[in-house]
């Protein structure tokens, strides 16, 4: 019950957090009590420092301090802007550079690898929030999606057209 309350408070405040099930590892469960000098669970840590248990978190929530102590979850739109600008050329696909997980992604990888241009990939199968959110963000319903300097170029069909017209390299270099 206490852990559930803690998760509800953190979620309500939009805090970015992850959890560890102390029942999954008895050594960690006992060791953390000694390490933190805190005998009960749940225990909240921010940047490796113990904040306290549920009672402390409730006090911080009541005083308004919880929002200043805890890191906020990044808004999806901000996260997507950050991802499309992670590298000068960003490819959102099913799979990654080493292994495409669909035919369209495989084809675009072959084209990209033949350009000699350095690029990064993001596997949309690993993150459903990004997979769905990027469709709206880019107003482009399918994958793969290719971005240059944070701007959507398009999907496989567009990349094929650019390649055939000789425009792909200048676009990838940001010379368009």
pLDDT digits (tens, 9 = 90+) for 116-139: 999 999 999 999 889 999 998 999
* Strands 89-93 and 44-46, bridge-based pairing: unpaired
Picking from 132, 149, 150, the residue whose alpha carbon sits closest to that of residue 141 is 132
Last residue of a domain, one of 69, 93, 126: 69
Cis omega (within 30 of 0) on the bond before 35? no
**How many domains are contained in the chain?**
2
CB-based contact 121:93 (threshold 8 Å)? yes
* Sign of the torsion formed by the C-alpha atoms of 42, 43, 46 and 51: positive
User: Band of the pLDDT at 5, cuts 50, 70, 90?
Assistant: very high
The CATH number of whichever domain residue 149 belongs to comes to 3.40.30.10
The reply to whether 49 and 135 lie within a common domain is no
Domain shared by 27 and 101, yes or no: no
Q: What is the domain extent for residue 28? A: 2-69
Of 14, 44, 69, which closes a domain? 69
Predicted confidence at residue 176, as pLDDT, reads 65
The residue out of 23, 48, 69 marking a domain boundary is 69
Residue range 48-65: mean pLDDT, rounded: 94
| Averaged pLDDT, 23-41 | 93
Report the interhelical angle of 103-113 vs 156-165 (nearest 10°): 30
pTM of the model: 0.62
pLDDT for position 74: 67
Give the whole-angstrom CA distance, residue 66 versus residue 62: 8
* Residues 91, 28 within the same domain: no
């Amino acid at each position: 019950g206490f852990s559930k309350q803690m998760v509800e408070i953190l979620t309500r405040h939009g805090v970015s957090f992850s959890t560890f099930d102390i029942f999954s590892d008895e050594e960690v469960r006992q060791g953390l009590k000694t390490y933190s000098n805190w005998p009960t669970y749940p225990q909240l840590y921010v940047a490796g420092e113990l904040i306290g248990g549920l009672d402390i978190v409730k006090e911080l929530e009541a005083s308004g301090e919880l929002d200043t102590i805890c890191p906020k979850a990044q808004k999806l739109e901000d996260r997507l802007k950050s991802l499309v600008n992670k590298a000068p050329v960003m490819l959102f696909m099913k799979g990654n550079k080493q292994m495409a997980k669909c035919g369209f992604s495989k084809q675009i990888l072959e084209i990209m690898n033949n350009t000699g241009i350095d690029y990064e990939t993001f596997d949309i199968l690993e993150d459903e929030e990004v997979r769905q959110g990027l469709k709206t963000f880019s107003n482009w319903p399918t994958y793969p999606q290719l971005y240059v300097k944070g701007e959507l170029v398009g999907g496989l069909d567009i990349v094929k057209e650019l390649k055939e017209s000789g425009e792909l390299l200048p676009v990838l270099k940001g010379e368009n």
